[in-house]
């Protein structure tokens, strides 16, 4: 509710109204969602609660794919309605995985389509790092920045950040091996394929230990399960064969165009095909950390009643108080904390949602305040709110606390409701 509810940061009803004004006849296709029928707070709650119920039922259902189809429809609806807060690659990956799950069995074509998905996820995550021409990746120094500058590090990241540059360079090379070399073995004979699966799992476990990337790594590990599954003969059914061929044609066509687009400009007809199916996220492109963030800026939001004495709002998980330790929070994703990390990469004017967030704090909106760790103004909202920008660094062994910080100026000037 604090994100997209009627009094949230980005109210869903307002979003749909603006889409209708921009695209009077095609807004639904641009953002497919059941919530077009009713975007009230009660229906938003029903959608995600129903999704939870169907997910539980699917574990025990005799025909789970029917129930999973409902899960997919509900997740796509809430994902497309979430705007900036539900636009992450793992949100889209969950849609594509859920779509494939509707056809899952051990027949050759369908097993290979799952292997093609995990290949695209891993291999193109490596490709984008090279194609970006980022010097930290090409110079093998990326990991010397990563542990400190990633969105929500864990305590383990603090310790790995202390290790020498030689370790960081070897770690960066290891990432390239796992993302560029190992995926080529996903289509190899059983022993090599399973070895590649274990290497991929090892990388995902290391990421889980050092960073909070929600359910992404768990989902990636689940997809590697298709590298262990042995293919069995397809059912001797014309309907099964036809469905498999149509499914493979659709996925390979769209994904092939997306893969081609990573290297060259795709033909106009190809672009039209991709644009037509993109809103449904049934086939997508992937590639994480194309460019490494080399500094960590953090936004500290403060309130005041007199314009002289300021008190800081604390977020549940992102760095704030330098003495507070990083924590483990995955697979839960504190989506406001994540968006604050992205906001700190640019200016406030590049993040229109941020002004709405400040407005809700000035109004003392309960659904938004529940997203915070602490509210320094429990009795009534402050008269003024501002945001300051700080440069954060991990401390070193022997130093007090987990972070050091130095102020870099105002991120958002002091404002009031007037």
Residues 302 and 286 in one domain: no
Query: Would you say residue 301 lies in a domain?
Result: yes
On whether residue 97 sits in a domain, the answer given is no
pLDDT digits (tens, 9 = 90+) for 284-316: 999 888 899 999 999 999 999 999 999 999 999
DSSP for residue 11: -
Instruction: Clarify whether residues 198 and 129 are in a common domain.
Output: yes
Task: Give the mean pLDDT of the chain.
Answer: 94
From residue 122, alpha-carbon distances to 31, 54, 369 in Å are 27, 30, 38
| Percentage of the chain exceeding pLDDT 70 | 100
The model's pTM is 0.93
Contact 78, 94 (CB under 8 A): no
**CB 176: neighbour CB atoms within 10 A?**
16
Q: Is 106's pLDDT higher than 90?
A: yes
- The pLDDT value recorded for residue 401 is 93
pLDDT at 52: 94
Total count of domains within the chain: 3
Predicted confidence at residue 261, as pLDDT, reads: 86
Let me know whether 189 and 322 are in one domain: no
Q: Assess whether 234 and 126 both reside in one domain.
A: yes
CB contact at 8 A, 182 and 122: yes
Q: Which of 292, 320, 341 is the last residue of a domain?
A: 292
Collapse the DSSP code of 242 into the 3-class scheme (helix H, G, I; strand E, B; otherwise coil) and give the result.
helix
**Mean pLDDT across 375-395:** 96
Contact 368, 2 (CB under 8 A): yes
The structure tokens 């995990």 sit at 118
Task: Write down the pLDDT at residue 350.
Answer: 93
Helix, strand, coil percentages in the chain from 3-state DSSP, rounded to 5: 55, 10, 35
The verdict on 320 and 276 lying in the same domain is no
**What CA–CA distance (Å, rounded) separates 85 from 282?**
19
Averaged pLDDT, 118-130: 95
Contacts of 229 (CB under 8 A, 6+ apart): 106, 111
Residue range 5-34: mean pLDDT, rounded = 93
Residue that terminates a domain, selected from 292, 323, 344: 292
Please give the average per-residue pLDDT across 43-55, as a whole number.
Answer: 95
Residues 244, 187 share a domain: yes
Distances (CA, A) of 343 to 174, 267, 371, 378: 30, 34, 17, 26
The pLDDT confidence band at residue 418, using thresholds 50, 70 and 90, is confident
For residue 186, tell me if it sits in a domain: yes
Kindly state whether residues 276 and 342 are assigned to the same domain: no
Closest CA to 204 of 228, 188, 185, 182: 182
Q: What is the pLDDT of residues 199-252, one digit of tens each?
A: 999 999 999 999 999 999 999 999 999 999 989 887 778 898 999 999 999 999
Do residues 148 and 199 share a domain? yes
273 and 370, same domain (yes or no): no
Last residue of one domain, picked from the residues 52, 87, 122: 87
> What is the extent of the structural domain holding 209?
106-292
In sequence order, the 6+-apart residues with CB closer than 8 A to the CB of 308 are none
User: What angle do the packed helices 216-224 and 190-210 form, to 10 degrees?
Assistant: 170
Report which of 336, 417, 376, 388 is spatially closest to residue 5, judged by C-alpha positions. Answer: 336
Question: Is it the case that residue 269 has pLDDT exceeding 90?
Answer: no
Q: Are residues 118 and 180 in the same domain?
A: yes
Q: What is the pLDDT of residue 62?
A: 87
Query: What crossing angle do the helices spanning 108-131 and 165-176 adopt, rounded to 10°?
Result: 140
User: Per residue in 181-201, pLDDT tens?
Assistant: 999 999 999 999 999 999 999
If you average pLDDT over residues 168-191, what whole number do you get? Answer: 96
pLDDT at 360 over 80: yes
Shared-domain flag, residues 7 and 140: no
With H, G, I as helix, E, B as strand and everything else as coil, classify residue 255. Answer: helix
């Amino acid at each position: 509710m604090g994100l997209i509810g009627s009094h949230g940061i980005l109210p869903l009803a307002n979003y749909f109204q603006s889409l209708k004004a921009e695209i009077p006849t095609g807004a639904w296709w641009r953002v497919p969602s059941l919530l077009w029928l009713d975007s009230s707070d009660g229906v938003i709650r029903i959608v995600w609660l129903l999704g939870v119920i169907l997910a539980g039922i699917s574990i025990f259902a005799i025909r789970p794919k029917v129930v999973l189809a409902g899960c997919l429809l509900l997740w796509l609806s809430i994902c497309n309605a979430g705007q900036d807060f539900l636009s992450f690659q793992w949100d889209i990956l969950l849609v594509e995985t859920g779509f494939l799950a509707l056809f899952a069995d051990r027949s050759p074509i369908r097993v290979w389509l799952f292997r093609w998905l995990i290949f695209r996820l891993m291999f193109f995550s490596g490709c984008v790092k090279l194609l970006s021409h980022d010097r930290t990746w090409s110079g093998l120094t990326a990991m010397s920045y990563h542990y400190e500058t990633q969105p929500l590090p864990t305590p383990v990241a603090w310790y790995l950040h202390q290790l020498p540059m030689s370790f960081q360079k070897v770690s960066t090379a290891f990432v390239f091996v796992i993302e560029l070399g190992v995926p080529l073995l996903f289509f190899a004979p059983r022993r090599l394929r399973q070895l590649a699966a274990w290497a991929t799992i090892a990388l995902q476990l290391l990421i889980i230990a050092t960073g909070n990337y929600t359910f992404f790594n768990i989902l990636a590990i689940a997809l590697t399960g298709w590298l262990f599954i042995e293919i069995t003969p397809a059912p001797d059914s014309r309907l099964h064969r036809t469905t498999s061929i149509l499914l493979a044609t659709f996925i390979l066509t769209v994904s092939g165009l997306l893969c081609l687009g990573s290297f060259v400009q795709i033909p106009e007809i190809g672009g039209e095909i991709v644009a037509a199916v993109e809103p449904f996220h049934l086939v997508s492109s992937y590639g994480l950390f194309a460019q490494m963030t080399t500094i960590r800026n953090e936004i500290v939001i403060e309130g005041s009643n007199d314009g002289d004495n300021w008190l800081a709002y604390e977020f549940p998980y992102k760095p704030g108080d330098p003495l507070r330790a990083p924590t483990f929070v995955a697979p839960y994703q504190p989506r406001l904390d994540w968006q604050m990390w992205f906001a700190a990469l640019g200016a406030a004017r590049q993040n229109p949602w941020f002004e709405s967030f400040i407005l809700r704090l000035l109004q003392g909106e309960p659904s938004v305040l529940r997203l915070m760790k602490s509210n320094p103004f429990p009795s009534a909202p402050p008269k003024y709110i501002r945001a300051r920008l700080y440069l954060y660094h991990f401390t070193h062994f022997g130093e007090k606390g987990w972070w050091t910080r130095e102020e870099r100026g105002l991120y958002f000037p002091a404002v009031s409701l007037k």
